Amino acid sequence: MDHRECSGVLTHKTHMDCEGTEIVRKRMKPALEEKEGEVGDGAVLDIEEDEETETNVTGSEEMDLNICRIHEKIERFTQLVAELLESGKTLLKELSNEFEERLIMIHKEQMEKWQEEIKDLRLLDASNEDVNALLQNARYLLQNVQIDSERFSMAIDQEDKSRGFYNSDIK
């Protein structure tokens, strides 16, 4: 950053030079510079300019100190913003990592829960299949018993008929 006063009296190289206050003073040359051979108003002009230059230097030193203070404020503020950004990034990164870990854990727990439900459903289905097979066997046995009972009943009826007994006689 190279700050120069418009009149060219003061040059401020960088705001870092404020700490060492390196100020380069330049004397202005008159706009209407007199040649060496001429005498007259040139001497008066040089004196007036020297007084003006001294006034500008004094004002410029105060201005330079004020500018240096502002640059120091800018530097401190910039440093503060940089630190806040860095701590914010760190905080967000930690928060993001915690969020990611928690979300993965929730997903894992849910998958385990659903896997357990699938396992329970398979056990229930296997149990139902076993019960269904037992019921089928029981039906088969009952049907066989009923068929055997009917055959037995028919065989007895035929035997009774052959002996001469009828169901109406048994009352």
3-state SS, one letter per residue, for the chain: CCEECCCCCEEECCCCHHHHCCEEECCCCCCCCCCCCCCCHHHHHHHHHHHHHHHHHHHHHHHHHHHHHHHHHHHHHHHHHHHHHHHHHHHHHHHHHHHHHHHHHHHHHHHHHHHHHHHHHHHHHHHHHHHHHHHHHHHHHHHHHHHHHHHHHHHHHHHHHHHCCCHHHHC
Give residue 167's pLDDT.
55
Give residue 101's pLDDT.
98
pLDDT, tens only, 96-141: 999 999 999 999 999 999 999 999 999 999 999 999 999 999 998 8
pLDDT, tens only, 44-83: 555 555 555 555 555 688 999 999 999 999 999 999 999 9
pLDDT tier at 149 (50, 70, 90 boundaries)?
Answer: confident
Give residue 54's pLDDT.
53
Give residue 48's pLDDT.
55
Give residue 60's pLDDT.
87
pLDDT (average), residues 142-164? 79
